[in-house]
Amino acid sequence: MRVTVKLFARLRDLVGAAELTRDVAPGATVGALWHQLAAEFPSIGSYERSISTAVNADYARRDQVLADGDEVAFLPPVSGG
Amino acid sequence: MGIPLLAIGPEPLDLLPLIAAVTDRGDASGSDGAVATFLGLVRNHNIGRVVHHLEYEGYEPLALKAFERIAEEIRQRWPDVCLALHHRIGRIEIGGASVAIAAASPHRGHAFSACRYAIERVKQIAPIWKREFFEGGDVWIEGATADPDDDQARADAERIACA
């Protein structure tokens, strides 16, 4: 199945794209998708412990199971205000 | 009718429409005794660097939901408060406003506390980032790992708001 990945701020710069599509295995979690990306783009690996994650524009835990067509966002530490 | 209470977008910010929005209570208008406001500005220095301008970016649909969550937390903690919260994104020059907040209440204490709570929570959980363009380079600023279910962060914001 296929999901859309959205990346923001420095994560986007490191990967070089704001949006990607990736195939994931049925039953894959948000965390598994992150590890797949970190293997593909080693420079983002240092964000392992500091990212937040969202699925379909709602904050989500890393153990959330993905569905076909989901939009998964990886968010570096925030700095609004 | 009127402006939304919660918003994120590229338009310049203005407190006066927010004040009008939070004090328009329909049939109950006139019940407020205070409006506390906060305007966050782009300053010309940061940790020893000369700052030229900032660029803000947000995950807009999630940011709006984060603002709704903050407004709901305030409804629970200070039920008589009406909150408005607008965040600007895109390039903002020195002296420009990046965030505007207004909190109306029958009582000034609640208005001050809710206003402070709102900006503390924005900094904790709003998916918004600033990139600082300074003399000699640029850098993404990274603060808190956003976790809206982190009760300790919420308690910290409430403690600061009520200090």
Residue A32, domain CATH: 3.10.20.30
Residue A57 to chain B, least CA–CA distance (Å): 5
Please name the residue of chain A whose CA is at the shortest distance from the CA of residue B101. Answer: A81
H or E segment at A30? Answer: helix A30-40
Interface contacts (A, B; CB < 8 Å)? 91
- DSSP structural state of residue B65: H
Distance, CA of B8 to chain centre: 10
Q: Residue B28 — pLDDT band, cuts 50, 70, 90?
A: confident
Hey, are the CB atoms on A9 and B142 less than 8 Å from each other?
Answer: yes
Residues of chain A in contact with residue B124, where contact means CB-CB under 8 angstroms, are 78
Residues of chain A in contact with residue B121, where contact means CB-CB under 8 angstroms, are none
The letter for the amino acid at A44 is I
Q: β-strand B49-58 against B137-141: which pairing, if any? A: unpaired
Please name the residue of chain B whose CA is at the shortest distance from the CA of residue A7. Answer: B59
Q: What is the pLDDT of residues B78-100, one digit of tens each?
A: 999 999 999 999 999 999 999 99
Q: What is the pLDDT of residues A11-62, one digit of tens each?
A: 999 999 999 999 999 999 999 999 999 999 999 999 999 999 999 999 999 9
Cβ-contact A8, A77 below 8 angstroms: no
Residue-range definition of the domain harbouring residue A54 = 2-75
Q: Residue B35 — pLDDT band, cuts 50, 70, 90?
A: very high
Determine the pLDDT at residue B109. 98
Q: What is the pLDDT of residues B104-142, one digit of tens each?
A: 999 999 999 999 999 999 999 999 999 999 999 999 999
Structurally, chain A folds into a number of domains equal to 1
The answer to whether residue A18 sits within a structural domain is: yes
Taking the CA atoms of residue A73, residue B100, residue B65 and residue B75 in that order, the dihedral angle to the nearest 10 degrees is 150
Cβ-contact A79, A13 below 8 angstroms: no
Determine the pLDDT at residue B67. 98
Cβ-contact B35, B90 below 8 angstroms: no
Hey, are the CB atoms on A79 and B124 less than 8 Å from each other?
Answer: no
> HSE (CB half, 13 Å, CA atoms) of B9?
9
Q: Which CATH architecture has domain B6-161?
A: Alpha-Beta Complex (3.90)
Determine the pLDDT at residue B14. 96
Determine the pLDDT at residue B68. 98
Determine the pLDDT at residue B27. 86
Cβ-contact A66, A24 below 8 angstroms: yes
Determine the pLDDT at residue A2. 98
The answer to whether residue A44 sits within a structural domain is: yes
> HSE (CB half, 13 Å, CA atoms) of B146?
29
Interface probe, candidates B142, B147, B150, B160, chain A, greatest A C-beta count within 10 A: B142
> HSE (CB half, 13 Å, CA atoms) of B76?
9
Residues of chain A in contact with residue B98, where contact means CB-CB under 8 angstroms, are 80-81
Q: Residue B1 — pLDDT band, cuts 50, 70, 90?
A: low
Beta bridge partners of B90: B56
Round to whole Å and give the CA distance between B96 and B40: 8
Determine the pLDDT at residue B106. 97
All residues at 6 or more sequence positions from B159 whose CB lies less than 8 Å from its CB, including other chains: none
